């Protein structure tokens, strides 16, 4: 997956500084409001450097959440290995909402990434879709859920949950969507 890239010492240092500051700003919930240039100054590097490491705001977001998304995917695999297929899917969807609730910025990020699904970006989002695909396939195989709705449908529902991140009653409504999806999926 990663091409062998011997990154120069100072380059790596700056990259880390950028990522560190990005995480900080994410936690403060200001990531999407901040001027991208100012962000470079905050992290103590020049604008050029920022753009060289992360060509777009989305690329930076993706890098920041790469770990989180990986964790989600591995959680999906873990659930799939230790639970009945039908329950695994439901459990994963619920834990997904938990995650999004805890890391508020993540919801907005995922929605953005999925929206900008173009090109080679949004690698994380594709990984996630793959994980969900596996869960759904297994559940169908086991006869736990109907087979006439695709993964895309489930992804679309998740997308909606992310996209609506600023509705006042987000958590309750998100839980509701998952409930409908899970119940609707039953044969």
| Binding positions for its own copies, rule: CB under 8 A | 111, 114-115, 117, 148-150, 152-153, 155-161, 163-164, 166-167, 169, 172-174, 176-177, 179-185
Of 39 and 92, nearer to DNA (C-beta) is 39
- Report the residue from 20, 24, 36, 117 that binds DNA according to the rule CB under 7 A: 36
Annotate 13-59 with three-state secondary structure. Answer: HHHHHHHHHHHHHHHCCCCCCCCHHHHHHHHCCCHHHHHHHCCCHHH
Q: Which of residues 39-78 bind DNA (CB under 7 A)?
A: 44-49, 51-53, 56-57
Of 64 and 110, nearer to its own copies (C-beta) is 110
**Total interface residues for DNA by CB under 7 A:** 23
- The binder of 114, among DNA, its own copies, none, by C-beta within 5 to 8 A per type, is its own copies
- Residues 6 or more apart whose CB falls under 8 angstroms from that of 101 comprise 170, 171, 174
User: What CA–CA distance (Å, rounded) separates 107 from 129?
Assistant: 15
Cβ–Cβ < 8 Å for 178, 132: no
- The binder of 56, among its own copies, DNA, none, by C-beta within 5 to 8 A per type, is DNA
Cβ–Cβ < 8 Å for 125, 58: no
- Residues 6 or more apart whose CB falls under 8 angstroms from that of 98 comprise none
9 binds DNA (CB under 7 A): yes
Residues that bind DNA (CB under 7 A): 6-11, 13-15, 35-37, 44-49, 51-53, 56-57
């Amino acid at each position: 997956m990663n091409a062998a890239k011997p990154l120069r010492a100072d380059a790596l240092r700056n990259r880390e500084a950028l990522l560190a500051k990005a995480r900080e700003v994410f936690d403060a919930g200001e990531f999407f409001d901040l001027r991208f240039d100012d962000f470079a100054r905050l992290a103590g590097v020049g604008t050029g450097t920022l753009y060289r490491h992360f060509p777009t705001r989305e690329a930076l977001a993706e890098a920041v959440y790469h770990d989180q998304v990986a964790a989600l995917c591995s959680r999906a695999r873990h659930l799939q290995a230790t639970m009945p297929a039908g329950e695994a899917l439901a459990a994963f969807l619920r834990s997904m909402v938990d995650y999004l609730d805890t890391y508020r910025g993540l919801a907005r990020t995922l929605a953005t990434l999925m929206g900008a699904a173009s090109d080679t970006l949004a690698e994380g989002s594709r990984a996630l879709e793959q994980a969900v695909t596996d869960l759904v396939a297994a559940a169908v195989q086991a006869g736990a859920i109907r087979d006439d709705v695709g993964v895309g449908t489930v992804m679309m529902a998740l997308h909606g949950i992310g996209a609506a991140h600023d509705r006042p009653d987000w958590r309750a409504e998100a839980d509701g969507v998952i409930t409908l999806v899970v119940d609707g999926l039953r044969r």
